Structure 1
Amino acid sequence: MKKRVVVTGIGAVTPLGNDAFSTWEKIKNGHSGIAPITKFNTENYIVKVAGEVKNFSPDEFMDIKEARRMGVFTQYAVAASKMAIQDAGVEIGSNVDPERIGVWIGSGIGGLGEFEDQHKRFLDKGPRRVNPFTIPMFIPDMAAGRVSIELGAKGINNCSVTACASGANSIGDAFRVVQNGDIDMMIAGGTEAAITEMTISGFTNMTALSTNPDPTSASRPFDKNRDGFVIAEGAGILILEELEHALARGAKIYGELVGYGATGDAFHITTPAPQGEGAQRAMKVALNDAGLLPESVDYINAHGTSTPYNDLYETQAIKAVFGEHAYKLSVSSTKSMTGHLLGATGAVEAIFSLLSIKDGIIPPTINYQTPDDELDLDYVPNVAKTTNVEVALTNSLGFGGHNATLIFKKY
């Protein structure tokens, strides 16, 4: 018999704040974390804005000597994981068996910034001057590996790398491990720190990024004048726990994870399948997994990237799955405020979905000014909505045709 899985802790590092709760306060109030890029000189770049993490001090969360041996994406994951574990009231080795808690943290790109830095050093100074920690600083699985080491979690240790679906897939894959009874708890989510010269250049040259230099309007999901996504960085971590285990230790419960759907488009390396065909199937699989009818969903935290194709096809997918109910539920894109955190985005948006259930607040899609005739759902324009949320669904769709849907329910 499948176990029930609840969320007992959350942690985040985002462009809006270096913890989950200050981030959520700004999300509820429609604040944006998007600003001019400061990580490098953008004089020769047509993309000027991003969702950078601000004032992050790794020494608040880890030994500074060890932090220097980590990629920034790993630092974010360690920080968010420690906050989530503390929030859950977990002391591994004391009130939780180290062998019964695992880690599953995804990253779409890993430490590309560290790789770029060392490649420059290699070209300038030769092979003997390359940092011996280069490989563990950039391989995507090292976030999960380091979290395990820092916290002493000895259960399954894994990493899903599915581009912009990495965080959601990691949570869903970790969900299965707990659901199957293989383990009591999982530290699960996603992390990314890819605002680099190469990343910006690559995404720009494929015309994926917004070239709007105004940070107050660059990320405008579902708006007729959307012109691409705004890249961002950060991490989101959830503590997934088997229900009886959580109740036995008196844990607080944010909500229950009840459904997971994962599909492949088998269509194109970057463009989603027409009508969001793969996303449709992911949502249907998740609903079936949860044993829920489409009419039970109150809120969809959309992938909503602010690209022409994604927003159109995701809207079409929602209509195909939900029928007339699509016009009764609320659909918003928090990427309008955070930007697109790539491999971390699904995890951060899972946190927003949970908190929308807990607080009865549906976050807005800000910067929404000009309706698009083909996009006619309730995108919660510009101002949050206060209403009871029993069930929230969140989509994450990645390059390569990866589609992941998670469904959370009020406990």
Structure 2
Amino acid sequence: MNKRIAITGFGVKVPNGENNNDLLDHLISGEYDFTARNDITPNQEPLWVGEVLGDLGTLEDKQYRVLPRISKLAISTSAEALAMAGLDLTDPGNKTGVFFGTTMGGTTPLEDMVHYASAGKFREMPVYCCGLVHYHSLASSISSFFHLTGISKTVTTGCTAGLEALEDAMLYLQSGKINTAIVGAADSSNNKVTVYGFGKIRALPFNQEIWNSGSPFNKKSKGFILSEGAASLILETEEHALSRNATIYGYVDAVSTNNDAESVNGQDKTGRNMKQAVNDVLGNRRPDYFNSQALGYDANDRIEDIVSRDIFQHEVPLTSIKGLIGHPFSVSGLAQIIASLLGFQHHFIPGTIRTDQHGYEHLPLITKTLPKATSEVLITSHGYGGNNACVYLTKQ
């Protein structure tokens, strides 16, 4: 039986969107704020980054020092999503799984641990050091915090990891092994290791003005804006959601993932496999628009242009929220979903800010918030090693 999978809650914490209401306000207004940092660049050049600036409340207390920042961000967004869903995790009728994705894991605390180890500072190394750097600390911290003893998985593929965690959850929900799932992603890697690595492939815009940094569909953009954050969804089988009279905010109608099979350091420039993933979720349908991963990095943006041309003949509008939130790696696809869910609720399509479309003037790009009721949206995402992921989201 093909069970419909409903979204009954969501939570977010990204730059210019530190909860659902904050993200809604910024999506509508287009106002943004990024931070110029020179303490993590090779030659103290300024680099624009996106930071979550808000307080994490009790998660900042001493008892949670054993958790990496990604776990704290994820717990925060999961709590917001659970409150929205009104889901009682203690109800024995709920069979809940936890599925989270991350690209860089605990890279930031790993820098500190490597420093201690290389300097021979064994005494200074915290006893909980392994938990700070282990990728699975992400999903396991959610399970521990909310006292969930069922399935707990962390997906670590790359920037598509959040959507691939979603895909895994869908399979478990469809199989009947679970009837509810907390699905999410978190990354926090505004550090030297990440900056040096992406700087080597010229994906980060050192010493550039904000308009040439992470500007989607703009050939003058010199790379993406590195950012941090987390996002969470509550998924339920439609039957389970209706049985408890839950509000349904949308449905994950289809998910498709594949790999370009080209290189761990590159992707298929023809966009062939991304187009296949898109066609897999589309069937014979056309969305009201598609929420693109385009992030101001030409290698990715060109493939999104190919999708628009070859599948939609440049006739379906598209947008990207990366000019607002930067690129929080694994979080990006789920943040795109949440932006579209907010659009369903409040009848608008978010605009692509901070771009003049240089070199992409032919695209039907939405550059300002567009008041419009929508009910079907395509989500696209690219990841490390050539992974592609697409989601088809519906309102009803």
TM interval, shorter chain, is over 0.9
Contact 2:56-2:73 at 8 Å conserved across structures = no
Distance 1:302 1:234 in 2: 18
SS at 2:183 equivalent: strand
Contact 1:105-1:190 at 8 Å conserved across structures = yes
Deviation digits for residues 144-189 of structure 1, max 9, x if unmatched?
1010111122221111111110111111221221122221111002
SS at 1:74 equivalent: helix
2:221 maps to which residue? Answer: 226
2:295 maps to which residue? Answer: 305
Contact 1:261-1:284 at 8 Å conserved across structures = no
Contact 1:88-1:251 at 8 Å conserved across structures = yes
1:77 maps to which residue? Answer: 74
Q: CA deviation at 1:34?
A: 2.2
Give the alignment of 1:263-282 within 5 angstroms. 263-282=258-277
SS at 2:226 equivalent: coil
Unaligned runs of 5+ in 2: none
Q: Which among 357, 376, 379 is matched to residue 344 of structure 2?
A: 357
Q: CA deviation at 1:127?
A: 2.8
Contact 1:271-1:309 at 8 Å conserved across structures = no
1:124 aligns with 2:110: no
Give the alignment of 1:25-64 within 5 angstroms. 25-37=25-37, 40=39, 42=41, 44-59=43-58, 62=59, 64=61
Residue identity opposite 1:318 in structure 2: S
Give the alignment of 1:31-180 within 5 angstroms. 31-37=31-37, 40=39, 42=41, 44-59=43-58, 62=59, 64-94=61-91, 97=93, 100-180=95-175
SS at 1:204 equivalent: helix
Deviation digits for residues 18-59 of structure 1, max 9, x if unmatched?
212211220222122422138x46582435110111123242
Q: CA deviation at 1:377?
A: 1.7
Distance 1:110 1:41 in 2: 18
Unaligned runs of 5+ in 1: none
Q: CA deviation at 1:234?
A: 0.3
Q: CA deviation at 1:211?
A: 2.5
1:393 aligns with 2:378: yes
1:314 maps to which residue? Answer: 304
1:378 maps to which residue? Answer: 364
TM-score relative to the length of structure 2 = 0.95
Contact 1:107-1:141 at 8 Å conserved across structures = no
Contact 2:78-2:182 at 8 Å conserved across structures = yes
Distance 1:305 1:239 in 2: 26
Q: CA deviation at 1:206?
A: 1.3
Matched residues, number: 396
Residue identity opposite 1:369 in structure 2: D
Residue identity opposite 1:345 in structure 2: S
Contact 2:68-2:132 at 8 Å conserved across structures = yes
2:280 maps to which residue? Answer: 285
Contact 1:165-1:343 at 8 Å conserved across structures = yes
Contact 2:258-2:273 at 8 Å conserved across structures = yes
1:21 aligns with 2:6: no
Q: CA deviation at 1:336?
A: 0.7
Q: Which among 183, 187, 192 is matched to residue 197 of structure 1?
A: 192
1:369 maps to which residue? Answer: 356
TM-score relative to the length of structure 1 = 0.92
Moved over 4 A (4+): none
Q: Please report the RMSD computed on the Cα atoms of aligned residues, expressed in angstroms.
A: 1.8
Q: CA deviation at 1:350?
A: 1.4
Deviates more, 1:72-81 or 1:15-24: 15-24
